[in-house]
């Protein structure tokens, strides 16, 4: 109980310190926009991103043969994470003509390759798990 | 003075009563959509899973916080204690870890939010004042975590669409998010302890009529896949700082092998607006001190030349090593008879910009590996690497390795 209160009070103090720091540096931190994004991020995630993921999961449940469901879910998770991480580099919005060392590659084939390797690993992993299960049940 | 022993306790109890007093429940007719009982039936929305993901998230968050504070310290112009200069790869490792741990956090954070999603639709939405406060702190936690990770990811790719100066916003955002995390851990301490004590192996099988509702993945498989996703993200990005992995860095914003003289560049000479001044034959390095000096490139080349293999380690998480050749900062300062116990200000030809100047602590300025480099890999510095003269020092953030040095001396 005491630890609990200590954690919550320390946390509240840290929040206060952060908010004051953010406000005192208002000329560079843009607190209004910062706050809008702080509130906007969970709204976008909970209201848009996650519902879309849940719809994909429901679609998989309805239309995929049941033996494909596990590998498809694993691919959705790993491939989805790779795709999200690629968002800021894919269209190269940060590229600058004077500096070719920033974003030096073509990221579209890079992501495609990463997704293909992920798919290959999932198929291989599924085959290994299923073979092992079959051998075990035969014994 | 007579003390009334009961009074403070009573007041505290009254406050507590107010904070936990049940608030009126909203009309049941409003309980629609996802707020209805049983809207989320997947067995993956589960406390044992949430607690385990939370534990990993906490570890990654702590790694990011500690390495982030180290970076803040290393970049502070007036630290209480100077950032260490050894080992030479110190900053390279801490900042590389900072960025990679932040990237590894992305899948764990998203899976954690997926697992706890039904909690968003708790009914009634606010049970008491305390419950409302706790939920408000969750908004700070989820918003802060998403914002820190998303803007960090954008920043390393040079995509500054988030509209605040990243180092400062990210730093204060970290305090807000860390604080919200502590509040959350405090609020969930007993729940999390109980949930962690539950084994994950005992899968509850769904009743036969609900078999189609069974999740595709078991709880263990979801955890394993989350780890795999984090690992995959690290594999395709770690090569920007771990050179042997560079061929695998399919999604990293930098390649440590690509750039003039085989090194990436953060700010080009054109962007800094120093092309004319840096290539002017009349260039002189001004050294301040009791005996001020102006040194030409020939003067600098006539001094004892030192070569050192030192990393250039950017705050953006990439790093690469080069063999730098030039003169020791301490030798140049000695020419001007500059005192050894002072902070040294290094100024660039670059007129504007936050990194047009940097400060060397007395220890860093005296360090035999702190160089004013004239050459990289045996060739004269490329203009984008700071020709004619750049600062290169051990365990120092790249933004403080001032390029196109015009002047240095006691602050």
Ranges of each domain in chain A: 31-63, 66-139
pLDDT of residue B73: 96
| Chain segment A7-42, per-residue pLDDT in tens | 999 999 999 999 999 999 999 999 999 999 999 999
Contacts of B180 in chain A (CB under 8 A): 11, 15
> What's the average model confidence in pLDDT over A46-74?
93
In this prediction the pTM is 0.93
Number of C-alpha atoms within 13 angstroms, CB side, residue A21? Answer: 16
| Share above pLDDT 90 across residues of chain B, in percent, rounded to a whole number | 80
* pLDDT tier for residue B1 given thresholds of 50, 70 and 90: very low
> What's the average model confidence in pLDDT over B82-86?
92
Closest residue on chain B to A42 (Cα) = B143
Closest residue on chain A to B108 (Cα) = A81
Q: Is A83 on the interface with B (CB under 8 A)?
A: no
Which residue among A6, A13, A38 sits closest to B144, beta carbon to beta carbon?
A: A38
B327 and B227 within one domain: no
Is B116 within 8 Å of A45 (Cβ atoms)? no
Which residue among B103, B165, B216 sits closest to A70, beta carbon to beta carbon?
A: B216
CB contact under 8 A, A10 and B157: no
Q: Please enumerate in sequence order all residues whose Cβ is within 8 A of that of A87, keeping only pairs 6 or more positions apart, or say none.
A: B153
Reply yes or no on whether the pLDDT at B3 is more than 80: no
* pLDDT tier for residue B207 given thresholds of 50, 70 and 90: low
Q: Tell me, yes or no, whether B298 lies in a domain.
A: yes
Q: Tell me, yes or no, whether B12 lies in a domain.
A: no
Which residue among A12, A22, A101 sits closest to B172, beta carbon to beta carbon?
A: A22
Reply yes or no on whether the pLDDT at B204 is more than 70: no
DSSP letter (8 states) at residue A47: I
Contacts of B164 in chain A (CB under 8 A): 28-30, 33-34
Supply the range of the domain harboring residue B129: 41-199+218-235
B161 and B267 within one domain: no
B272 and B227 within one domain: no
Provide the domain count of chain B.
2
Which residue among A29, A61, A105 sits closest to B169, beta carbon to beta carbon?
A: A29
What is the number of CB-based contacts under 8 A between chain A and chain B? 237
CB contact under 8 A, B179 and A69: no
What is the pLDDT of chain A when averaged over all its residues?
Answer: 94
> What's the average model confidence in pLDDT over B216-233?
94
| Chain segment B302-324, per-residue pLDDT in tens | 999 999 999 999 999 999 999 99
B193 and B110 within one domain: yes
Which of the two residues, A112 and B15, has the higher pLDDT score? A112
R_g over Cα of chain B: 28
Q: Tell me, yes or no, whether B208 lies in a domain.
A: no
B319 and B181 within one domain: no
Buried b (16+ CB within 10 A) or exposed e, B373-386: bbbbeeeebbbbbb
Range name among B39-48, B69-78, B84-93, B386-395 with the lowest pLDDT average: B39-48
Q: Is A106 on the interface with B (CB under 8 A)?
A: no
Torsion of CA A95, A98, A99, A103, to 10 degrees: 20
Instruction: Tell me how close the Cα of B107 comes to any Cα of chain A, in angstroms.
Output: 6
B226 and B325 within one domain: no
Q: Which residues 118-137 in chain A show a CB within 8 A of chain B? A: 118
* pLDDT tier for residue B18 given thresholds of 50, 70 and 90: confident
Q: Tell me, yes or no, whether B186 lies in a domain.
A: yes
Which CATH number characterizes residue B291's domain?
3.90.420.10
Give the helix ranges, DSSP H, for chain A.
2-24, 26-29, 31-44, 50-63, 69-90, 107-138
């Amino acid at each position: 109980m005491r630890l609990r209160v200590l954690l919550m009070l320390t946390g509240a103090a840290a929040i206060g310190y952060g908010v004051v720091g953010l406000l005192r540096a208002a000329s560079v931190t843009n607190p209004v926009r910062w706050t809008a994004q702080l509130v906007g991020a969970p709204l976008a995630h909970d209201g848009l991103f996650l519902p879309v993921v849940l719809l994909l999961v429901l679609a998989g449940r309805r239309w995929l043969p049941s033996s494909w469901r596990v590998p498809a879910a694993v691919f959705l998770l790993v491939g989805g994470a790779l795709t999200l991480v690629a968002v800021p580099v894919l269209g190269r919005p940060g590229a600058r003509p004077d500096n070719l060392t920033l974003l030096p590659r073509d990221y579209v084939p890079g992501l495609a390759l990463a997704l293909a390797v992920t798919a290959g690993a999932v198929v291989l992993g599924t085959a290994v798990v299923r073979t092992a299960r079959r051998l075990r049940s035969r014994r | 003075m007579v003390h009334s022993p009961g009074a403070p306790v009573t007041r505290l109890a009254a406050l507590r009563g107010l904070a936990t007093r049940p608030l009126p429940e909203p009309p049941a007719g409003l309980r629609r959509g996802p707020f209805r009982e049983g809207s989320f039936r997947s067995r993956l929305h589960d406390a044992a899973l949430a607690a385990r993901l939370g534990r990993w998230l906490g570890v990654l968050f702590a790694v990011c916080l500690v390495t982030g504070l180290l970076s803040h310290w290393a970049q502070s112009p007036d630290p209480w204690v100077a950032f260490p200069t050894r080992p030479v790869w110190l900053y390279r490792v801490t900042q590389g870890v900072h960025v990679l741990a932040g990237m590894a956090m992305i899948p764990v954070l998203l899976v954690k939010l997926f697992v706890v999603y039904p909690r968003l639709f708790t009914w009634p939405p606010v049970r008491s004042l305390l419950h409302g406060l706790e939920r408000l702190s969750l908004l700070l936690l989820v918003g802060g975590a998403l914002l820190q990770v998303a803007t960090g990811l954008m920043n390393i790719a040079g995509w500054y669409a988030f509209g605040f100066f990243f180092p400062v916003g990210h730093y204060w955002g970290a305090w807000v998010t860390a604080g919200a995390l502590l509040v959350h851990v405090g609020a969930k301490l007993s729940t999390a302890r109980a949930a962690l004590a539950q084994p994950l192996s005992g899968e509850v099988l769904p009743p036969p009529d609900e078999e189609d509702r069974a999740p595709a993945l078991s709880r263990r498989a979801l955890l394993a896949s989350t780890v795999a996703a984090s690992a995959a993200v690290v594999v395709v990005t770690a090569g920007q700082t771990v050179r042997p992995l560079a061929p695998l860095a399919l999604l990293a914003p930098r390649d440590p092998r690509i750039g003039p003289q085989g090194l990436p560049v953060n700010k080009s000479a054109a962007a800094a607006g120093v092309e004319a001044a840096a290539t002017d034959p009349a260039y002189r390095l001004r050294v301040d001190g009791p005996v001020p000096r102006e040194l030409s490139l020939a003067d600098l080349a006539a001094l004892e030349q030192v070569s050192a293999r030192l990393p250039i380690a950017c705050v953006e998480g990439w790093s690469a090593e080069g063999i730098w050749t030039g003169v020791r900062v301490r030798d140049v300062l000695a020419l001007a008879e500059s005192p050894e116990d002072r902070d040294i200000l290094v100024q660039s030809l670059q007129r504007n910009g936050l990194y047009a100047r940097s400060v060397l602590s007395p220890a860093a300025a005296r360090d035999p590996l702190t160089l004013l480099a004239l050459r990289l890999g045996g060739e004269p510095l490329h203009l984008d690497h700071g020709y004619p003269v750049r600062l290169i020092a051990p365990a120092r953030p790249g933004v403080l390795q001032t390029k196109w040095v015009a002047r240095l001396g006691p602050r």
